Amino acid sequence: MRIIVAENYQEFSRWAAHFVAGLVRGKPNCVLGLPTGSTPVGMYSEIVRMHQQGLDLQDVQTYNLDEYVGLSPAHPESYHYFMRQHLFNHVNVNSEQIHIPNGMAQDLKLECEQYEERIQNAGGMDLMILGLGPNGHIGFNEPDSQLGTKTHVVYLTPETIQANARFFPNVGQVPRQAVTMGVGSIMQAKEILLLVSGEAKRDVLRKALLGEVTTAVPASILQLHPHLVVVTDFAV
Ligand code: GLP
User: Catalytic: 56?
Assistant: no
Cβ of 78 below 6 Å from ligand 1: no
pLDDT digits (tens, 9 = 90+) for 32-67: 999 999 999 999 999 999 999 999 999 999 999 999
Closest ligand 1 atom, residue 178 Cα:
8
Domain limits for position 17: 2-232
**Of how many residues is the chain composed?**
236
CA 33 to chain centre: 7
What CATH number is associated with residue 13?
A: 3.40.50.1360
**Going by CA atoms, what residue is nearest to atom 6 of ligand 1?**
133
**pTM across the whole model:** 0.97
DSSP-assigned states of every residue in 106-167? SSHHHHHHHHHHHHHHTTS-SEEEE---TTS-BTTB-S-SS--SSSEEEEPPHHHHHHHGGG
pLDDT of residue 145: 84
pLDDT digits (tens, 9 = 90+) for 164-216: 999 999 999 999 999 999 999 999 999 999 999 999 999 999 999 999 999 99
User: Catalytic: 137?
Assistant: yes
Q: Give 100 Cα–ligand 1 centroid separation in angstroms.
A: 16
Percent of the chain clearing pLDDT 90 (strictly above): 99
From the list 46, 51, 64, 66, the catalytic residue is 66
User: Catalytic: 80?
Assistant: no
By the 8 A CB rule, do 2 and 228 touch? Answer: yes
> pLDDT averaged over the chain?
97
- Asked whether residue 114 carries a pLDDT value surpassing 90, the answer given is yes
Averaged over 153-160, what is the pLDDT? 94
Other Cβ atoms closer than 10 A to 30: 19
pLDDT digits (tens, 9 = 90+) for 59-106: 999 999 999 999 999 999 999 999 999 999 999 999 999 999 999 999
Residue from 36, 63, 202 whose mutation best tests the ligand 1 pocket (most atoms within 8 A of CB):
36
pLDDT of residue 164: 92
Cβ of 39 below 6 Å from ligand 1: yes
If one counts the domains in the chain, the total is 1
pLDDT of residue 9: 98
Q: What are phi and psi of 85, to 5 degrees?
A: -60, -45
Q: Give 85 Cα–ligand 1 centroid separation in angstroms.
A: 16
Cβ of 35 below 6 Å from ligand 1: yes
Cβ of 182 below 6 Å from ligand 1: no
Q: Give 45 Cα–ligand 1 centroid separation in angstroms.
A: 17
User: Catalytic: 66?
Assistant: yes
Phi-psi region for residue 70, left (φ > 0), alpha (ψ -120 to 50) or beta? left
